[in-house]
Amino acid sequence: MTQNAFFKEVFATVLDYSIDLYAYVDIKNTYQYISKSYAHFYDFEVKDLIGESPKQVFDQDTYRNIVEPNLAKCIAEKAPVNFESWILAKKAEEPVYLYTSYLPHVSKQTNEVVGVIVISKDVSEFKRAEGLLSQSANTDALTGIPNRLYLENKLNVLTESYHRSSDRFALLFLDLDGFKEVNDSYGHAVGDKVLYQVASRLSKNVRAQDIVARYGGDEFVVLISPLVETDVINIVKNKIERTISQPFDISGHKITIGVSIGTSVSPDETFSVDDLINFADRRMYHNKNKKMQRK
């Protein structure tokens, strides 16, 4: 065995059996190399992915919002891109938290990027442990967004401070339409993926200072604070209805659901946190019932 062949064999063994995940994506966005660790982590065989796009591995939102833009940035800037994120794979039942590096492969002949080396490390357990220490009391474990306790504490702070501020705020109470049928037809693992993606879409359709919280089950709350113009409520409602009505691509299934929304405004209607939630909740069910009657 020549020295080059020896080292090639050694490096292939290291890459294939490392706990880290390695891949090479060419300029046409197709896999040219996949380590066994990478393929098995995403529940594929190596041969199944060679020549395929990362679109085959990741769910639609993860690919469009995380994988694709970071690959494009690496190629455009000819520079490494390092990021960490919860990602969802098509064959996975729950998201995983990865530290990922995209390294540009620059041709010595043309000085152009001809591919991207991908290195990922699964640190989900560390991230979950960190979350348990710092955020578990206030974060929904499934979706990673604020939970009911955090929301109610925030509402208490806002209502108590109103006498020191002229800020108004709006509460949007959301309930998913058709979610029970998703669980019944595809199982709770798929239903959980839907909830995760709903949370992601909602978070992208509000301002940075607003809050999206999972209230429980398939119920979410959006807190618009401060509310300067009342028209903003309808703008946000329309954006939410549009984004949730778009099909969810999960585990090979095209899933379509809807959303019913009820609103309340403080201090216009009440200073009471319970009343604010109840007003919005009742209006949401009123709107849901109207939809059912039209069917």
What pLDDT, on a 0 to 100 scale, did the predictor assign at position 228? 82
Does residue 82 lie within any of the structural domains?
yes
Task: Indicate whether 142 and 123 sit together in one domain.
Answer: no
How many domains does the chain contain in total?
Answer: 2
Does residue 1 lie within any of the structural domains?
no
Whole-model pTM? 0.57
What pLDDT, on a 0 to 100 scale, did the predictor assign at position 104? 96
What pLDDT, on a 0 to 100 scale, did the predictor assign at position 164? 47
Task: Indicate whether 155 and 276 sit together in one domain.
Answer: yes
pLDDT, tens only, 151-203: 998 998 888 765 544 578 999 999 999 999 999 999 988 999 999 999 999 99
Task: Indicate whether 281 and 162 sit together in one domain.
Answer: yes
Task: Indicate whether 110 and 188 sit together in one domain.
Answer: no
Does residue 142 lie within any of the structural domains?
yes
Does residue 78 lie within any of the structural domains?
yes
Nearest Cα residue to 57 out of 114, 118, 104, 103 = 118
Task: Indicate whether 97 and 162 sit together in one domain.
Answer: no
Does residue 2 lie within any of the structural domains?
no
40: domain CATH number? 3.30.450.20
Specify whether 218 is catalytic.
yes
Does residue 4 lie within any of the structural domains?
no
Does residue 122 lie within any of the structural domains?
yes
What pLDDT, on a 0 to 100 scale, did the predictor assign at position 260? 97
d(CA 59, CA 69): 14
Task: Indicate whether 75 and 168 sit together in one domain.
Answer: no
d(CA 34, CA 25): 9
Task: Indicate whether 77 and 183 sit together in one domain.
Answer: no
Task: Indicate whether 63 and 145 sit together in one domain.
Answer: no
The residue from 192, 218, 249, 268 that is catalytic is 218
Task: Indicate whether 98 and 196 sit together in one domain.
Answer: no
Give the domain-ending residue among 100, 127, 154. 127
Gyration radius of the chain over CA positions: 23
Task: Indicate whether 62 and 139 sit together in one domain.
Answer: no
Q: Is the dihedral of CA 149, 150, 155, 157 positive or negative?
A: positive
The low-confidence residues of the chain, meaning pLDDT below 50, are: 164-165
Give the domain-ending residue among 127, 158, 184. 127
The residue range of the domain holding 252 is: 135-294
Give the domain-ending residue among 79, 103, 127. 127
What pLDDT, on a 0 to 100 scale, did the predictor assign at position 295? 64
| Cα–Cα separations (whole angstroms), residue 269 to 159, 274, 277 | 12, 12, 11
265: domain CATH number? 3.30.70.270
Task: Indicate whether 266 and 121 sit together in one domain.
Answer: no
What pLDDT, on a 0 to 100 scale, did the predictor assign at position 19? 81
Task: Indicate whether 114 and 174 sit together in one domain.
Answer: no
Nearest Cα residue to 240 out of 191, 278, 284, 293 = 284
Burial 6-34 (b: 16+ CB within 10 A, else e): eeeeeeeeebbeeebbbbbbeeebbbebb
